Amino acid sequence: MDTRKVQRTGKSTYIVSLPKSWATKHGISAGSLIYINQSENGALVLSPERSEQDLNIKLNIGDKSGEPLVRDIIACYVSGYRTIELTSSRMSSSQKKSIHQIVSKLIGPEVLEETINKVLIQDLLSSEELQAERALRRIRTVVKSMIQDSLNSLVEGNRDLASDVIERDDDVDRLHLLISRQFTEILRSGTISQGEIDPITAFNYSQAASNLERMADHAHAIAQVVMDYEVSLPPDLVAELKRLESLFGNLIEESISSLLHLNSEKANAIIEQTREVRLFAPLMTKPAQKIQKDEMMVRVMVSGSIERMLDYITNIGELTINLSHAHGSVEAG
């Protein structure tokens, strides 16, 4: 670690010299702009100005298509590139189909140019959409509705509603990738101009979004059970599932609220609630009387998803407690 003595010029200006190796590495010379951000712990983070060239990437995809190509595009998006130029000696229809499908599932990117051997993707993401807190609130709303509707579709045997839940899973994936993108951007630069959010908070928001995304996967799984099996559940189980529908909505709402407001007391209360709700899941797989094989399959799969979703809500509660300690705000909000 380099050390520097602070020098004073004039009556109120303090000067610290930059390490020459750092300046040379980043092309810093007299007149160059650098960004200075102050973190909550008092540290100053210096970032060189990022040129437009740094925000562009060119990939020769060759004959790559399908999932490998999709993963490359997602990686470029999450890494914060504004322009992604994909080239090949001659792009196949399957390659272009893969490109268009993933671009349509991301927030911001659009295909601006397309030729026989090139596809140019430009990110049109607005500063409002880039805010992690806003995206986290949006993903909470979608996941909450997915879980409640998946349980409702199970109770009513409503396949139209189950199908709608499955379609909403893509919305959650888009928001999750958006938050992952911002986290990467903050790690690279120390902060971003659109939001006053520190790297520790960004990390915890990213982790919370990952837990919400996994909950959405289980809501999808419950909805898929409704699509694949046709069973009539007994009244006592229906009543419990309806109660769970309301409880999950409240748990998801409050878990993210406690994270955003650093309310560790509420987070602890939520964790205790999940333990109480968890007592219901094993009862689903122990019916009072003999049942059909299909109904037992439904009970086992739904019970497993319920337990996993409770795990993820607990994880978010623990993130809140950890972040509260990191910010020195362990108190009721």
Q: CATH number for the domain including 113? A: 3.30.110
Residue 116 shares a structural domain with residue 138: no
Give yes or no: residues 154 and 237 share one domain: yes
| 74 and 216 inside one domain | no
Averaged pLDDT for residues 59-85: 93
> Is residue 46 included in any domain, yes or no?
yes
pLDDT of residue 259: 97
Pair (168, 67) in one structural domain:
no
Counting the structural domains of the chain, the total is: 3
pLDDT band at 332 (very low <50, low <70, confident <90, very high): very low
332 occurs within a structural domain: no
CA distances from 77 to 32, 61, 110, 182 (A): 28, 16, 12, 10
Give the chain's mean pLDDT: 88
Judgement on whether residues 136 and 36 belong to the same structural domain of the protein: no
Mean pLDDT along residues 60-88: 93
> What are the pLDDT digits (tens) for 245-267?
999 999 999 999 999 999 999 99
Alpha-carbon span 135 to 159, nearest angstrom: 29
Please report which confidence band the pLDDT of residue 49 belongs to, taking 50, 70 and 90 as the band edges: low
Domain-ending residue, one of 123, 147, 181: 123
Q: What is the CATH number of the domain that holds 243?
A: 1.20.58.220
Report if residue 223 sits inside a domain.
yes
**Residue finishing a domain among 123, 145, 178:** 123
pLDDT at position 316, please? 98
Query: Is 333's pLDDT higher than 60?
Result: no
Same domain, 104 and 216: no
Tell whether the model's pLDDT for residue 84 goes beyond 90. Answer: yes
| Torsion of Cα atoms, 148 then 152 then 153 then 158, to 10° | -140
In terms of residue numbers, what domain contains 34?
7-50
- Greater confidence (11 vs 134) lies with 134
Q: How much of the chain exceeds pLDDT 90, in percent?
A: 58
Q: Which comes out higher in pLDDT, residue 81 or 38?
A: 81
What is the C-alpha to C-alpha distance for residues 230 and 232, in angstroms, rounded to an integer?
7
pLDDT, one tens digit per residue, over 178-199 is 999 888 887 776 554 545 678 8
Read off φ and ψ for residue 197, nearest 5 degrees: -130, 130
In this prediction, residue 317 has a pLDDT band, given cuts at 50, 70 and 90, of: very high
Whether residues 214 and 228 fall in one domain: yes
Q: Do residues 169 and 220 share a domain? A: yes
331 inside domain: no
Most confident of 169-183, 214-228, 270-284: 214-228
Residues linked to residue 59 through DSSP beta bridges, in sequence order: 86
Report the CATH number at residue 40: 2.10.260
